[in-house]
Chain A
Amino acid sequence: MTMLESSNLSRRGFLAGLGGMSFAVAIGSDGASLFADAHAQGAARAINAWVRIAPDGVVTIYSAGAEMGQGSKTSLPMILAEEMDADWSKVVIEMAPADRDVYGYTFNNERGMSIVGSRAVMLYFNDLRMAGAQVRKVLIQNAAQQWGADAKTLRTEPGFVINPANGQKLSYGDIAAKGSIPDPLPKVEASELKPRSQWRMIGRGVARRDTPAKVNGSAIYAMDVKLPGMVYATAIHAPVHTGKPVEWNDAEIRKLPGVLDTVRLSNGVAIVAASFLEARAASEKLNVKWDAGAAGSFDSDAALENYVKVHNDPKANVFSIEKKGDINAAFTAAAKKFKADYRADYGYHAQMEPLNAVVRIADDGGSAEVWEGTQAPDFTRDEVAKALGLPPQAVTVHQCYMGGGFGRRTLGDYAAECAVIAKQVKRPVKLIWTREEDMAFGMFRPAAFQCLEAAQDATGKVTGWKHCVVGDGGVLLHTGIRIPYYDLPNLDIERRGVSHGIRLKHWRAVGHVFNVFAIESLVDEMAVEAKMDPIQFRIERMAAIPKLRRCFEQVAKMCDWNAPRPAGRALGVSLSERSNSLGAGVVEISLDRETGKIKVHKVWISVDGGVIVTPGPAKANVESGIIYGLSGLLHERITIKDGVVQQSNFHDYPLMRMSDLPEVMEVSFIESDQRPTGLGEIGNPFLGAAIANAFYRLTGKRIRHLPFTPERVLETLKA
């Protein structure tokens, strides 16, 4: 039962007990710098080793890639191992400690470890290559010294330094056993990195290290952690997101079997019991008087219609996202103008593992450990520390596999909640939110209303573009709203914010889901009006940049764009964009006019994601984005009445199943030498417009409100 504890002990033993070399790396805004271990230990803060080479040749590399299924836990160390020319069969991967100052990437001038926005490979790629190259340089210098050779004449093969002049070989383990690490470490220039032609792993990939444990039940998620003396908690949160508990039938609850304690939370009540089932059974008897707060009368359908009024209100508070050129002149001079509205409902993450965490506080209260599957171990550390009144350094985060993330697991919120409970009950606690709780107290992809307008000049070129998004959620609303891939002269892009108190969060590409849907739907309307091929229209009239043009050209080949389709089928096309990647996708759909069910038969997408580091997982990530996207578009809808979420589990929030799988799903990457860009969410944003545009070709009707549930499709057909 204490498997985790023993593995931690053995890890500490490994780090402390064996000789060898260890390197600590701090990744700064100017790239990676490496310290010898002695230097690191002499520094003010304790810095853990990033790379360790043991005398037996085992290379331990920390991974900062929180693993939610995308494969970063394997791919990040592989990048470093490539440049240091490690023998991959001797590489052991451990999760990096939750210390952003040492292991964080730099993004927008801030250090962070959040694995969000498909950024892991993109943001760590250059730094990890530099770090690996620096380790390799030290190993070569040591061998040169030992042989009395010129370091410049030596080369490496996986796990060895070689002297080509006489065939001498030294293993990395042997070097580590006797070698020394200069302080400061030698500098590495970008020109010293391996040229692409010499890559052994980048571009080919390696087997994911998490696969074996995920086919025999041994992969450990936080849900699976069990500590000595641990008790179980479940939490019931306010049914209205802004609510707070006033009082509850505490005496009655405390008498129920197994119940050990109840804990008042800022937004709910936790019940602690000897087993999860007893905690859950007691939670079903819990009768809480709530103060509903500001969202008590919230109605999601009414709110969406209110957004229309906000858009029409000249006094509304406007946040400008981008202004370019002279938008008024473009519209005044326009030969033709277009205007269309689009809507989107709330969406729920539905990661397969309901949210949970385990917290153990030391007897003296001076330190704590947390086990969580988190996209952001650094934020978990901060939030748990804050909840316990401890400095962040006093909190150790044991990163577990995540049963899905999709943007929900970056706040440390439920870990902090577990810490509050553990502090009160003075025992290690596992907190599990039930699926019902996970959904009711979810943090949703925001609902949105959008109005788009476009102006064309006399030659038909699009010269003016206005996009206004209205809703709650701040920056969540405007990811994917800018259109740098279309080189248009006059732009006015804005957000009009409304505040409801409904909990909102990133959701696999979040704003791209509805923004790209709206953008590419309007472009399609203009192409139809111009009687032009929609791809040609984008290139000629929207001034698609070359990178996007290549994606369209490739996907057109993949799907044989101009070939006739079977009766009752139609194609739709849209661009895709996310985290510096660009793509173009096509779907082939049919429609059951009786039931309103849209069937997506085939999906093709061409993606420019820069250098593809691990082709297998890269493709799997795009495919996963496609399935997640289709599920959200065709099945999933959160509605809220009287402030309360109406859905509770997978019977009324259905997810896509195997029988809905497209018959064909083809992913193709554009050949590129550019730095890798994000792939975890590029499979998602194009689907809304591609389906809606195909729907128009089948029916002559525009579907402007997502998701495209059968009821909504039937309404659209009748309209």
Chain B
Amino acid sequence: MVSFNLNGRAVSVDAKPDTPLLWVIRDQIGLTGTKYGCGAGLCGACTIHINGEALRSCQTLASEAAGKNVTTIEGLSPNSSHPLQKAWVRHEVPQCGYCQSGQIMKAAELLAKTPKPTREQIVQHMDGNICRCGTYHNIIAAIETASKEG
């Protein structure tokens, strides 16, 4: 049994401590906005926050979440009102959309720590997250918009 706080609610899950958190969240808890892309920490589609830090949930063990605050895309805001989500809609960033939860969660960590990032800071921070549709330029634009209006 592993217990942690997920999107503001206490959860206890019957999972072995060494289970990757990605699958606990997706298949056991049923929040599917966090995606499986590579299973090896190479693409960023599974990015979540633990105590505000963006982590690859496919490489994070359930035990590492114990007692901590875990946030997924579903918990970033109650109604898609996070400045990044609004900017993502305004710039119509997603194409296939599969990587975008991870992109937004990674970007949210950046803005929490660096509210007015330079373009270089954005690129450096986001470089681990792959988008196969190639929406990178729109991701940058949306982060810049959110940083101005957030």
Contacts and interface: CB of A to CB of B under 8 A. Distances in A.
A625 B134 CA distance: 8
Given A217-B33, A217-B72, A627-B136, A276 B85 contact: no
B80 A212 contact: yes
B50 interface: no
A217 B85 CA distance: 11
A620 B138 contact: yes
Interface string B12-52: 00000001100100110011111111111011010000000
A558 interface: no
Interface string A344-369: 00000011111000000000000000
A544 interface: no
Contacts of A404: 96, 98, 132-133
Contacts of A651: 40, 42
Interface stretch (A42-50, A220-228, A319-327, A572-580): A220-228
Interface string A184-223: 0000000000000000000000011011111111111101
B130 A655 contact: yes
Nearest to B96: A69
Contacts of B30: 1, 226
Interface string A105-120: 0000000000000000
A275 B27 contact: yes
Interface string B82-94: 0001001100111
Contacts, number: 165
Interface string B67-108: 000001110110010000100110011111111110010000
Interface in B107-150: 123-124, 126-140
Contact of B130 (A217, A432, A626, A650): A650
Given A352-B45, A353-B35, A403-B97, A624 B135 contact: yes
Contact of B96 (A215, A218, A352, A626): A352
A436 B42 CA distance: 12
A665 B42 CA distance: 26
B98 A403 contact: yes
A273 to B, nearest CB: 12
Q: Main SS of chain A's interface residues?
A: loop
Given A68-B96, A404-B96, A352 B37 contact: yes
A623 B23 contact: no
Chain A CB within 10 Å — which of B85, B98, B123 has the most?
A: B98
B130 A351 contact: no
B123 A659 contact: yes
B42 A276 contact: no
Interface residues of B, number: 56
Contact of A624 (B19, B85, B100, B133): B133
Given A217-B33, A217-B73, A401 B134 contact: no
Contacts of B23: 275-277
A351 B96 contact: yes
B36 A223 contact: yes
Contacts of B98: 221, 351-353, 401, 403-404
A639 interface: no
Given A220-B32, A405-B96, A659-B123, 6 more contacts: A208-B92, A214-B97, A217-B72, A353-B37, A354-B37, A403-B99
26 contacts: A68-B96, A69-B96, A207-B92, A211-B88, A211-B89, A215-B85, A215-B88, A216-B85, A217-B32, A220-B32, A232-B27, A277-B19, A352-B132, A354-B36, A401-B97, A403-B97, A434-B39, A435-B37, A435-B40, A620-B95, A624-B133, A624-B135, A626-B134, A658-B129, A661-B140, A665-B137
Can you list the 8 inter-chain pairs with the closest CB atoms, starting with the nearest?
Answer: A217-B33, A627-B134, A403-B98, A69-B95, A69-B96, A214-B97, A224-B32, A217-B73
